[in-house]
Chain A
Amino acid sequence: MRYLPLTHADRKDMLSVIGAKTIDDLFVDVPGAAVLDGPIHGLPLHASELAVERHMTALAKKNLAAGDAPFFLGAGAYKHHVPASVDHLIQRGEFLTAYTPYQPEIAQGTLQMMFEFQSQVARLLGCDVANASMYDGSTACWEAIVMARRVTRRGKAILSGGLHPHYVSVANTMAKYTGDVLDTRLPVLGATPDTDDLIGLIDADTSCVVVQYPDILGRIADLSALADACHAKKALLIAVVTEPVALGAIKSPGEMGADIVVGEGQSIGVGLQFGGPYVGLFACSEKLVRQMPGRLCGETVDAEGKRGFVLTLSTREQHIRREKATSNICTSSVLCALAWSIHMTLLGEAGLRQLATKNHIGAIGASNVLSQVPGVELVTPVFFNEFTLKLSKEARPVVRQLADKGILAGVSLGRLYPGVESLENGLVVAVTETTTEEDVATLASALREALA
């Protein structure tokens, strides 16, 4: 019981101060029928650090880690190199074991970091303001749709076919119960995203159009015309970014007129972790800020006039507004936001641009090599670090076959869109600074063999 400091003698002394005979006296309000008289049966008893470590290590070894294989998976989660100092700093107890900064005088560390994070995110996404983070990209995306409903007082959202299918799935789940109408579509295995095709769908009931940039197949397109079309009909444009490193190389959605920009921040500072915890990014224009969900940190002064930071505009939130809050979210993903912010500070603008360039050049090289394999066709000529290949046969079994050989070949569209025949030969391949030329060569020869 290494985490329990009370001794047997302490417990006895304390019971007598309380005026109780046994610990059971403190549980008198629990109905007798529900009281267990000893440790729950069928579960193991306490264990040493060593024993637990053995158990967990054995489980970890049953997984094929990204770093142990030629690795090309993306589709909303990306492997990038995270500098050693990031993990060192987020493990400082003052960050790791702190609480939500409701007492600002003794939480300036977290608050200042949040303010810096908000400022970095707003600049990267091209917006006025950003919040202190959401759970992840998919939940941030739904929150943006709900926010657009509040702002426009309309209930129909148009979702691009290029939006990550899990994000669409989350929105569909929620819309089923909230009465929001979602106009959704599947992606088409082709060179350009459906950005401009969405323009004709916007009408007087449209609250927002949601597009992903780069999209699920890795494609990018200018959002300016779509933004103008939304605004002409008094609808909002929501842009979703699942690979923020891209914004070191390409224009930000905010620059092109997006009203709300949300995203998954995982690729900067946060590891893959089998899908979570990640960090949702959420930014918008200043005039919409009172409709924004989530925590916000703002600048102020203390009693001596010194600059300091506090959580602010809290009346939007559940602990003040209860059923009238903008969202039920009560937490953010602060420690992941800290990792994001530290990594971004280490990179700086110059480093981010270099990183993005490296990703892009690597992806160009890989797309050239892979599209020369017989039975492989590059369907997305414009991309950042992720592109889609069309194989001469169904991609999902090929991916499984290669995984058995220790090669993580990419994400098959069959996994993301089960049962959609027009997409089943699609393979989404991500290339980052961690991908080597040897990795690409290995994948090319394995594909050559699998498609022969």
Chain B
Amino acid sequence: MSTINQSGWRPTTPEKGDSDTSTFTGNRALMLEEPLIFEIGSTETTGVDFDFEPGMGAYEDRLGGLARTAPIGLPGLSEPETVRHYTRLSRQNYAIDLGLFPLGSCTMKHNPRLNERMARLPGFADLHPLTPVDSCQGALEVIDQLAHWLITLTGMHAVAMSPKAGAHGELCGVLAIRAALDARGEGHRKILLVPISAHGTNPATAAFANFTVEDIPATDDGRVDLAALKARLGPDIAGVMITNPNTCGLFERDMREISDAVHAAGGYVYCDGANFNAIVGRVRPGDLGIDAMHINLHKTFSTPHGGGGPGSGPVVLSQALAPYAPLPFVEKTAGGFRLVEEETADEHHAGTFGRMVAFHGQMGMFTRALTYILSHGADGLRQVAEDSVLNANYILRSMEDLLDAPFAKSGPCMHEAIFSDKGLPEGFSTIDVAKGLIDEGYHPMTVYFPLVVHGAMLVEPTETESKATLDQFIGAFRSVAARAKNGDPTVKTAPHFAPRRRLDETLAARKPVLAYKEPAVAEAAE
């Protein structure tokens, strides 16, 4: 078998806990149960009124005999029921607005509401993507201004704005690498080297773009093994995908040397910019020899995560890769902004690898990110990096006496601190510490990632947390970790106070129920 369960994550059927006092409704005061829309709605009910117009009754359709006859089965609710349904559901979620969200690698910082207000200005929110160019100059200017900031902050040459999310940005970067290699007549370079500590998206992206992936080992101090990397370079290597700061929360000290070695061997350097928040305004990736890097606007630049999307992943490119950038892009001309699409891509854009997405990318996220960037300015963004790194180191040094911190001796961490399950007694694991934190009122940290640390706990506080908040979190984290270390059985059955106890993920995967089905009408009893 290939590696068996590297991360050590073994969810099993949850242990039964003590049941609380039951109520008639199943509700517990402010913790309200909410049925599915299929259980409370009806296909006859609607919460939308339509103006009556003559002709709505009898008319001759133009549907060519394809009019729908079968019922669809879509339940409707009145407006008050709808508002209540979703409000009740929302209250079963943890969110940044409620408290610290220490997810490593996710940069769950505060989402300023000015961003939301600006994105909803009708000139942006109610603008069709195929509006003639002269009638959407303001939108193109937003894209151009944001592009200017991203290029300047990263010290790069160009930026591809259209990728829809981080992983889509990775795809953009590796396709640019592929296009550049093909242009050099080096189609035979098919291998991308990816550190074992990388996000899963890196190898998945490489494979999605038809590259072959080879792992690079890490050293004991949590960084890329430079010697192993150099030894593997050669005429079959397309490049490396590296994360810096890396997923262990450390800056890759040898980044420049890695870039130089990869370039000397004829390859390109892709950087996963998921952790750019730690260095924004203080370090420019372009100064480290990087050829392409995606920027998660939903991390560093505060656009909302929304429960898992939509994101946005513009990709900054070096001079070597810029000619291959995808369509469309915005160009400033004397007569205004011009949108370069398929038809206007002339000899200046002959190298473009093509279109990645319909239309122009995540405009709604561009307006939010630009709003945030203008609010912080160059000085504020630099302070963002400093405070995020300060907060992470504060947590690292406040916990390392109690929990194993595998890289604490490697020097300061960047934006996130990593701990392991080493030293927890038999039967206790990272998942128990995570679920224990839920009862304390926190979202758990990232667990069992990166794979280089067994039972990893990755904590990223971000810069938008106050010292008082951090102190309380550290107190809670220490308390739960101590209980786990002492074998407290109540940690094994945590959470006790959440809307749900531990869920049976095994059952969900063995017998998948992915859509609502009406319960079968029971046979009449004999």
Contact = CB atoms under 8 A, between A and B. Distances in A.
Contact of B499 (A65, A100, A108): A108
19 contacts: A2-B375, A34-B284, A36-B282, A52-B374, A62-B137, A96-B306, A100-B309, A146-B208, A166-B358, A249-B68, A275-B129, A277-B362, A296-B512, A329-B167, A330-B166, A334-B309, A338-B86, A347-B48, A348-B42
A272 interface: yes
Contacts of B109: 3
A348 B411 contact: no
Interface in B112-148: 112, 114, 116-132, 134-139, 141-142
A91 B398 contact: no
B207 A6 contact: no
B72 A319 contact: no
Interface stretch (A202-210, A226-234, A353-361, A443-451): A353-361
B51 to A, nearest CB: 9
Contact of B108 (A43, A99, A317, A349): A99
Contacts of B65: 222
B282 A62 contact: no
Contact of B67 (A55, A249, A304): A249
Given A27-B389, A338-B307, A384-B63, A42 B362 contact: no
Contacts of B391: 6, 14
B184 interface: no
Contacts of B357: 135-136, 138-139, 166, 170, 276
A452 interface: no
A229 B252 CA distance: 56
A348 B130 contact: no
Nearest to A191: B64
Contact of B201 (A14, A61, A106, A330): A330
Contact of A65 (B92, B127, B282, B380): B127
A19 B83 contact: no
B355 interface: yes
Interface string A63-98: 111111001010111010001010111111111111
Given A99-B103, A115-B516, A322-B200, A274 B129 contact: yes
Q: Choose among B74, B118, B124 the residue with the greatest number of A CB atoms under 10 Å from its CB.
A: B74
A431 B68 CA distance: 20
A418 interface: yes
Interface stretch (A181-189, A369-377, A397-405): A397-405
Interface string B348-363: 0000011111111111
Nearest to A143: B208
- Give me the 7 closest cross-chain CB pairs, A-B, nearest first: A348-B76, A418-B343, A275-B359, A60-B123, A335-B306, A62-B138, A93-B97
Contacts of B210: 177-179
B365 A361 contact: no
Interface stretch (B11-19, B420-428, B476-484): B11-19
Contacts of A104: 500, 503, 505
Given A93-B97, A400-B132, A304 B501 contact: yes
A291 B360 CA distance: 29
Contacts of A110: 93, 307-308
A434 to B, nearest CB: 10
A321 B204 contact: yes
Contact of A272 (B127, B377, B379, B393): B127
Contacts of B122: 60, 65, 67-68
B261 interface: no
A112 B281 CA distance: 40
Contact of A101 (B106, B307, B343, B380): B307
Contacts of A167: 358
Interface string B289-324: 000000000000010111111111000000000000
Contacts of A137: 358
B232 interface: no
Nearest to A296: B514
B342 A49 contact: no
B417 to A, nearest CB: 11
B505 A300 contact: yes
B383 A63 contact: no
A59 to B, nearest CB: 4
A43 B378 contact: yes
Given A4-B463, A93-B96, A274-B124, A348 B389 contact: no
A304 B394 contact: no
A297 B514 contact: yes
A200 interface: no
Contacts of B305: 97-100
A97 B96 contact: yes
B390 interface: yes
B200 to A, nearest CB: 4
The binding surface of chain B is classed by DSSP as loop
Given A4-B463, A364-B62, A79 B128 contact: yes
Contact of B86 (A51, A113, A173): A113
A94 B110 contact: no
Nearest to A62: B138
B73 A5 contact: no
A64 B45 contact: no
Nearest to A414: B343
B91 interface: yes
Given A44-B374, A63-B135, 11 more contacts: A20-B393, A67-B126, A88-B83, A94-B98, A95-B90, A107-B93, A112-B89, A132-B308, A222-B65, A330-B166, A364-B61
A363 to B, nearest CB: 8
Contact of B44 (A177, A350, A357): A350
B434 A103 contact: yes
A408 B135 CA distance: 9
Which range contains the number of B residues in contact with the other chain? 35 or more
A164 interface: yes
A360 B371 CA distance: 39
A168 to B, nearest CB: 9
Q: Choose among B90, B119, B281, B379 the residue with the greatest number of A CB atoms under 10 Å from its CB.
A: B90
Contact of A220 (B66, B135, B207): B66
Nearest to A248: B68
Contacts of A301: 503-504, 507
B207 to A, nearest CB: 4
B310 A4 contact: no
A46 B380 contact: yes
Nearest to B345: A418
Contacts of B103: 99
Contact of A4 (B17, B311, B344, B464): B464
A303 B15 contact: yes
Given A327-B208, A335-B310, A176 B354 contact: yes
B256 A34 contact: yes
Nearest to B470: A14
A129 to B, nearest CB: 5
A327 B306 contact: no
A251 B51 CA distance: 25
Contact of B74 (A2, A91, A178, A348): A348
Nearest to A300: B508
B308 A295 contact: yes
Contacts of A329: 165, 167-168
A433 interface: yes
A435 interface: no
B17 A351 contact: no
Nearest to B7: A320
B504 A302 contact: yes
Contacts of A57: 118, 121
B74 A17 contact: no
A106 B306 contact: no
Interface string B491-520: 001010011111111011100111110000
A95 B360 contact: no
Interface string B152-185: 1100000000001111101100010010000000
B123 A62 contact: yes
A10 interface: yes
B522 interface: no
A289 interface: yes
